[in-house]
Structure 1
Amino acid sequence: MKIARLVHENNETYGFVKGDRVATKDEITYQTGVPIPQSIKDFLFDGWFDEIKDKIDTLPYEENISKFKLLSPIPNPNKIICLAFNYIDHAKEQNLSPPDEPAIVLKPRTALNGTGSDIICPDFVTQLDYEVELALIIGKNCKNINEKQAVDAIFGYMILNDVSARDIQFKDKQFTRGKSFDTFAPSGPWITTADEIKDPQNLKLTTKINGEIRQNSSTSNMFIKIPEIVSRLSKVMTLEKGDIISTGTPAGVMLNKPNAVFLKNGDKVEMEIENLGILKNTIRFVNEN
């Protein structure tokens, strides 16, 4: 099932997506008789989704998705955890060995952004880069879990663009500030539930900038695989319902490349992961003085 967070005429809602059609929260309540909550997080993680799951096939999907603006699927996660250098091809292009333990960066939830929205970058940033990543959504609170339990803890998957200001990153000698600007975590376009993804370690993922392919790889190139990522992180911190874990990016970013072509004002960024949809954003540089 694909579950999207939506807005129309300043009214936020959520719903199921099938092709170009949507069954909204109000429609789901009307058709099933179940008074599902206003909050998408309450709906997904507090038992309501499971309650109406067997009724999904009966929904008529009356609205066209073009009517809505799509928001970042999870509005207020407690944590956004991003892995660095977790793809063998990306580490190789940086002349590095992938780390044996998850090397992580925490992004603030204020960086979240939806598909179709602009990525807003202050004009003092001179090296703006992209990173297509498979992100997973944690569906239950967990601590010190093993890899089998980790699989059961994953509610679903989506695309995340770990936007990075490389000049800030190099100046600071660490990653947080350069990855934490507002709108620097576009995600979506929706959550695809884990049961629909037979093998998350064998998904094609691409990035196009103005139609030109810049990244073209597969999640099979991850060094630390998804169950191990979740298990190891749970031994460091309690993972909570709605947390986002972004699993790293493959080769093709502009980081440390000679003659690098960084993102500029008006660039169209299109990211696709097999079976998860397409994430589209436009770059806007602004003067914040």
Structure 2
Amino acid sequence: MRIANLAGRLVLVTATGAVDVEEASQGRFGPDPTAVYRDWRDFTAWAASAGLPAGEPLDETLLGAPVPEPGQIFAIGLNYREHATESGLDFPVEPPVFTKFRTSITGPYGDLALPGDTVDWEAELVVVIGREARQVAAADAWEYVAGLTVGQDYSERTRQLVPPAPQFSLGKSFPGFAPIGPVVVTPDELPDPGNLEIGCSIDGEQVQKARTGDLIFSVPVLIERLSAVLPLQPGDLIFTGTPSGVGGGRNPKRFLVAGEEVVTWIEGIGQLRQRCVPGTPYTTAS
């Protein structure tokens, strides 16, 4: 099953196009793309048994974030060994966790306003939680996953690493710094949801390529470790970390400039596309 947000309404993307969920279910499920995860079991049972009508042509320019209002956003650092190496840091023994604030969430396509001259890219697999998870064992964790989507963890490195204490969450939460989409894909749609090709290119030049099977902490382990501390709620997002190839890990360092197009993809899910444009510089301490 492939789920999307089309002009603010929940749709299923089928071979024939986009099926409006509220209309097809005769009001049983509403149009809110986020609310459906709180009723995930009933929704998936309905979608599997319903005789869905033919879809309407899908206008991709109208796609928004498939989960526009997550309750919690967890982001994991240093979750690929080569990325930890390029960052000059040891491999973590526990997942390093921060957040991206909700107002940074945006849809899969559009402009990325650059608030500074050290904005970096980080292609990421994003997990969408489908039922409350408390003290979940890794062996059972996929049962709590509604689906997977593509994400970018854009980062203003100067703001992120301001001394004396780095401010990861602020440096990664400027408007538009968390595009996700274009759809949420349920794990059963993917031959191996734990091992997908992921990559990123800038103006056609490939800058990142890896497989999610290379994660230090896999999706099930992340759910186990996070749910041991606090409950994960339906519709929560987990940005699982980025592979090597980020601009800050290069010599010389490379950051995004206005006019460049960033394309991020994950096998079996789809791609994001952002065009970099000048943004409003943020205020710094004088």
TM-score normalized with structure 1 length: 0.90
Q: Which residue of 2 aligns with 1:118?
A: 111
Question: Map of 1:1-289 to 2, 5 A cutoff?
Answer: 1-7=1-7, 12-19=8-15, 21-29=17-25, 33=26, 35-46=28-39, 47-56=41-50, 58-61=52-55, 63-66=56-59, 69-122=62-115, 125-172=116-163, 173-287=166-280
Rounded to whole Å, the distance in 2 between the matches of 1:288 and 1:5 is: 31
SS of 1:208's equivalent? strand
* 1:45-76 deviation line (CA, Å, top 9, x unaligned): 31441342234564311x11126511111121
Q: What residue ranges of structure 1 are gaps of 5+ in the alignment?
A: none
Greater CA drift, 33-42 or 75-84: 33-42
Distance 1:64 1:85, change over 3 A: same
* Contact 1:100–1:224 (8 Å) recurs in 2: no
Read off the aligned partner of 1:222 and give its amino acid letter. Answer: L
What displacement does 1:271 show? 0.6
Read off the aligned partner of 1:169 and give its amino acid letter. Answer: Q
Read off the aligned partner of 1:170 and give its amino acid letter. Answer: L
* 1:139-166 deviation line (CA, Å, top 9, x unaligned): 1112111112322111100011000001
* Backbone CA RMSD of aligned residues: 1.9
* Contact 2:106–2:179 (8 Å) recurs in 1: yes
Q: What residue ranges of structure 2 are gaps of 5+ in the alignment?
A: none
Report percent identity of matched pairs.
31
Distance 1:67 1:126, change over 3 A: closer
Rounded to whole Å, the distance in 2 between the matches of 1:69 and 1:75 is: 14
Distance 1:139 1:210, change over 3 A: same
* Contact 2:37–2:234 (8 Å) recurs in 1: no
What displacement does 1:19 show? 4.9
Greater CA drift, 34-43 or 208-217: 34-43
Runs of 4+ in structure 1 over 3 Å off? 55-58
Distance 1:51 1:200, change over 3 A: closer
